[in-house]
Amino acid sequence: MTLPKVRVPYLLLLPGFAFLFTFFILPIINLAQTSTQTPVKGGDTGQYEQTFAFGNYITAFTENKEQFARSFIFATFSTVLALAIAYPLAYAIAFKAGKFKNILLVLVVAPFFTSFLLRTIAWKQILGEEGFVVPGLRSLHIISQQTTLTSTSFAVVAGMTYNFLPFMTLPLYASLERIDPRTIEAAGDLYANGITAFRRVTVPLSMPGVVAGTLLTFIPAAGDYVNAAILGSPTSKMVGNVIESRYFKIVDYPTAAALSFTLMAAILILVTLYIRKAGTEELV
């Protein structure tokens, strides 16, 4: 080989990074400069000029406070729910599955081979009037005859929780699986009962998985709008819905751009605070 050894990594990186630079970094930069534009007076829709209108951010945020709040609240709820549902499942597969581990893992991920949209729409049907859940709950008098489950925040959160479940389950499983069962035995040997051993040994050792899972769930959930669009009502929009509509329904690119950055910034701040508190190394 005549290639000087120093050059090789850079050559390997070049095509991929050139691509990412052009189609990821550049667009983000372009979005940034769009966010401070204002419509050209007297121009057609879609025509803007750069005016460094940083006020766009303030307007965008204040006009959509409600949607921001909703996005983060929904994302938090679905992350917590996903954690609550996924943890026992991941634990069961890691510790109690024996030789069925791999099969069960496949079964956890398998439902997500069907199209994301088909699943969400399936939930819409199932939770709708024609499904079996609502009529069943009504006949058991758990809910009143007027209550519907679709077009509610409940449905949106339920949909989000369901759809992001594998993102929570897999990192949790990976982390739990790595725990040497002998450490738990050692805890028992040192006078810890089952619950204490779980609290003081298993849970702390599974924290890397918990952190990874919550991040992988929260970040996309905060920016999601499909669940809200399908399972929610026109009044329960999330930030993602607003951004989408600013591109396709009411053409307002600067606002959409400003909202996008605000959303990214908010996520970044929350994630940084979270990581600092949880204390974790490389995620990638």
Partner 1 sequence: MSQKIKDASIPTIPFKARFSRWFGRNLLRIYMIFGFTYLFIPVAYTFAFSFNDSGKSNLIWKGFTLRNWQNPCGAPEVCSALGNSIKIGLLATTFSTILGTMIAFAIGRYAFKGRSSSNLLIFLPMATPEVVLGASLLSLFLVFKINPGFWPTVIAHVMFCISFVVVTVKARIASLDPRLEQAAMDLYANELETFRRVTLPLVAPGIAGAALLAFSLSFDDFIITNFNSGTLMTFPKFVYVSAARGIPAQANVIGSSMFFLALAIVIAGQLVNRKKVR
Residues 146-165 that bind partner 1 (CB under 8 A): 162, 165
Per CB under 8 A, contacts with partner 1 among 209-228 are 219-220, 222-226
Closer CB to partner 1, 144 or 234, in the complex: 234
Closer CB to partner 1, 144 or 277, in the complex: 277
Per CB under 8 A, contacts with partner 1 among 96-135 are 96, 102-104, 106-111, 113-126, 130
- Residue 15: its H or E element: helix 7-20
> HEC states along 95-119?
HHCHHHHHHHHHHHHHHHHCCHHHH
Per CB under 8 A, contacts with partner 1 among 21-40 are 23-24, 26-28, 30-31, 34
Stretch 231-250: interaction string toward partner 1, x if CB under 8 A: --------xx--xx--x---
Piece of 12-20, 57-65, 76-84, 143-151 that binds partner 1 (CB under 8 A)? 12-20
For residue 55, the Cα-to-chain-centroid distance in whole angstroms is 29
Closer CB to partner 1, 201 or 243, in the complex: 243
Per CB under 8 A, contacts with partner 1 among 40-59 are none
For residue 213, the Cα-to-chain-centroid distance in whole angstroms is 10
Binding residues for partner 1, rule CB under 8 A, total: 79
Angstrom distance (rounded) from CA 163 to CA 117: 10
Instruction: For the chain, give percent helix, strand, coil, nearest 5.
Output: 75, 0, 25
Q: Radius of gyration (Cα) for the chain, nearest Å?
A: 24
The amino acid that residue 211 corresponds to is: V
